[in-house]
Amino acid sequence: MNYRVEKILAFLFLLLVLLLTWYLFLIDDFVRTSEERITGVFASLALGFGIFQFWMHELNADRRKLYDQRYESYKDFVLQIEQISESLHIEMIGDEIGSIHNLLSRLINHLNRINTTIAISSDSLFPDLHLKSETKSIVTIVGNILTKTNEFRLKVEKENREGKEVARDFLHSQDRMRWHNEIGELLKELHTSKHDLYRLLRNYF
């Protein structure tokens, strides 16, 4: 149930206790002597406030737990996206070819982790997160990065099969420069879109 709704219900319960206490012990002839009225008022209020405090404590505990879960999920989003950027930047500034297969494998793992987190979080932590344009934008950009990198991997493997000295000529190769430029543009898009996603996630807190 929604936190605000439950909070309203808790206060309505407290109001009901106050009204019943006022009616039963001060208006109605539920008890007759002053001592019984005073005892009844204090007992009723003590019980009512006790239940109200317990209710509010449970609500706040659940809210804190939800906050902690959302924060951990938020940090995981940030970690995966930043690691994608870091992995690509390292490859793009290198003078020699790295392991394109390892890079592709890391990108796939990051994308799978992002998709898994979105799927798990969309039900309770970040309701309807998978439907948000910010989320779709990130998934699309990372997917495009993965596609471009895989296309480049295929070209590298082709050159390897043909016996070319790929490692030596990697920095100056036309294919690498094309991949470099395409990934550079996608990273710019990722940099802009990730902050939109981060703001969206923070709105849930």
Q: What is the pTM of this model?
A: 0.64
- What φ, ψ does residue 10 adopt, rounded to 5°? -65, -45
The pLDDT score that the predictor gives to residue 171 is 45
Most confident of 10-19, 134-143, 145-154, 160-169: 134-143
CA distances to 12, 22, 48, 51, 152 from 54, in Å: 15, 22, 10, 5, 60
Packing angle of the helix pair 34-93, 100-121 (nearest 10 deg): 160
Mean pLDDT, rounded, for 57-74: 81
Most confident range (mean pLDDT) of 6-10, 25-29, 107-111 is: 107-111
